[in-house]
Chains A and B, each alone.
Chain A
Amino acid sequence: DAKTTQPPSMDCAEGRAANLPCNHSTISGNEYVYWYRQIHSQGPQYIIHGLKNNETNEMASLIITEDRKSSTLILPHATLRDTAVYYCIDNDKIIFGKGTRLHILP
């Protein structure tokens, strides 16, 4: 079973930053935190991952707390195309939880 906890849904205004939280309090020292998203009727898409340090790529930023028990995915300028279910994963197998359904509001 998934070991992460995420809010079931969130809203964000178009053009604003979307901040998606994830709790992974049982994460072990060598487990990475991965984020995927799934747009309707498509397979999941990798976004970003990290171990201890904050990470940034062309899609998003990942902020991991110092104790590694939680993280936040940041979409800096959300667009309507970012409407999707976002999954946080903290294990060495790709085991999905229920994710957060993000709605971008025009």
Chain B
Amino acid sequence: EAGVAQSPRYKIIEKRQSVAFWCNPISGHATLYWYQQILGQGPKLLIQFQNNGVVDDSQLPKDRFSAERLKGVDSTLKIQPAKLEDSAVYLCASSFRTGWVDTEAFFGQGTRLTVV
């Protein structure tokens, strides 16, 4: 089966510019996650969707980050304006069932963002 697709793979922007990342989860997966992974650290959960509703966005810096999942399928994550500390890999993941019980998540390859 096709995996989680993310684009672009790489992005370089100047600080204060805006940027958007796109994620297409595995077909039929209700739950979608966005993570930020700074070099040398574990992935940090930014936001979790169930279908098109937000389950948890407690770690999302809402003054500059936004995410949406229209129609409960594809999702976009936006940063506006970007800061140097936003340089990281942004990972998208999806899982079949609501929450976590007895199902694993599948991750995309990520988008590597460099803010200069």
Asked if A21 lies at the interface with its beta carbon under 8 angstroms from chain B, I say no
For B94-105 the 0/1 string (1 means CB < 8 A from A) is 000001111011
Task: Assess the A32–B42 pair: CB atoms within 8 A.
Answer: no
Complex Cα gap A34–B93 (Å): 15
A residues at B contact (CB < 8 Å):
2, 30, 32, 34, 42-46, 49, 85, 87, 91-99
What is the interface size of chain B, counting residues whose CB is below 8 A from a CB of the partner?
A: 23
Chain B residues whose CB sits within 8 angstroms of the CB of A49 once the complex forms: 102, 104
B residues at A contact (CB < 8 Å):
4, 33, 35, 41-45, 48, 56, 91, 93, 99-102, 104-110
Task: Assess the A43–B108 pair: CB atoms within 8 A.
Answer: yes
Complex Cα gap A91–B104 (Å): 12
Task: Assess the B107–A87 pair: CB atoms within 8 A.
Answer: no
Complex Cα gap A42–B35 (Å): 13
Chain B residues whose CB sits within 8 angstroms of the CB of A94 once the complex forms: 33, 45, 93, 100, 105
Min C-beta distance of B59 to chain A, whole Å:
9
